[in-house]
């Protein structure tokens, strides 16, 4: 029973359509290891951006060639939460699917924490605000750090093939959920009550002094 719950918690599917910008990504909330993400590139202009946690930079990897999915020619891109490029790959040697390999120096140098991973179909690529290509795109089998001097992710351009995909991770976790916003009014209320109590105590003291 416990094992089943654990297995279920490691896999997640895109909900609706994940956004493509640093302001519209889909966060993969949950607890524990994140091993499998499934999604769909539904349009030639679709790219899916997800917020994940890299829990172990030394072992982190992401790949699209392990499980099923009929998007045959995938691309993977990793960014900081601010949209700065970290690493990208279009094709694994001899395949059209993609791999950000464990042990790559750009990955192992990261600090554990939250990052953005994007999935697109070939050939829908990431550009900065000056329409500079963020990552080199050929030869297709390269595992690329960003081009020098490029800015953060601004838009995507090109035309994507469409279909379903599966991303398999190592060294990744779900993003820990933010505490319930409902807690805020309670804390604010307590703060307010405390302020009233302090004011009433102060008044009490003052009037006490005045009375003396």
Residue ranges binding Ca ion (CB under 5 A)? 17, 46, 48, 73, 90-91, 96, 122
Output the smallest distance, CB 97 to Ca ion, in A.
6
Output the smallest distance, CB 123 to Ca ion, in A.
9
Quick one: 73 or 104, whose CB is closer to Ca ion?
73
Helix (H, G, I), strand (E, B) or coil at 130: coil
* Distance separating alpha carbons of residues 20 and 65, to the nearest angstrom: 22
Quick one: 83 or 121, whose CB is closer to Ca ion?
121
Output the smallest distance, CB 184 to Ca ion, in A.
32
Output the smallest distance, CB 111 to Ca ion, in A.
28
Q: Return the structure tokens found at 14.
A: 């895109």
Output the smallest distance, CB 108 to Ca ion, in A.
24
Quick one: 112 or 133, whose CB is closer to Ca ion?
133
Residue whose pair of structure tokens reads 């804390």 in the numeric block: 187
Dihedral Cα 67, 134, 152, 21, nearest 10 deg? -40
Quick one: 33 or 90, whose CB is closer to Ca ion?
90
Residue of 147, 113, 107, 112 lying closest to 131 (CA atoms): 147
Quick one: 124 or 127, whose CB is closer to Ca ion?
124
Handedness of CA 11, 29, 40, 111 (dihedral sign): negative
* Distance separating alpha carbons of residues 165 and 119, to the nearest angstrom: 8
Q: Is the peptide bond prior to 115 cis by the omega test (within 30 degrees of 0)?
A: no
């Amino acid at each position: 029973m416990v094992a089943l719950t654990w297995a279920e918690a490691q896999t997640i599917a895109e909900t609706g359509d994940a956004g493509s910008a640093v302001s519209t990504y889909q966060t993969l909330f949950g607890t524990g290891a994140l091993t499998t993400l499934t999604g769909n590139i539904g349009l030639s202009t679709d790219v899916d951006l997800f917020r994940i946690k890299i829990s172990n930079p030394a072992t982190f990897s992401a790949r699209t060639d392990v499980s099923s999915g009929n998007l045959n020619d995938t691309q993977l891109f990793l960014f900081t939460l601010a949209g700065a490029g970290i690493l990208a790959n279009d094709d694994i040697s001899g395949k059209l699917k993609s791999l950000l390999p464990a042990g790559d120096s750009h990955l192992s140098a990261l600090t554990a924490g939250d990052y953005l991973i994007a999935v697109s179909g070939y050939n829908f690529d990431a550009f900065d605000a000056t329409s500079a290509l963020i990552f080199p795109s050929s030869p297709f089998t390269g595992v690329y750090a960003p081009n020098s001097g490029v800015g953060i992710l601004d838009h995507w351009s090109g035309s994507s093939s469409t279909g379903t995909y599966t991303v398999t991770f190592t060294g990744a976790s779900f993003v820990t959920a933010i505490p319930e916003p409902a807690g805020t009014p309670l804390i604010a209320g307590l703060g307010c009550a405390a302020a009233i109590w302090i004011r009433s105590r102060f008044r009490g003291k003052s009037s006490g002094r005045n009375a003396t």
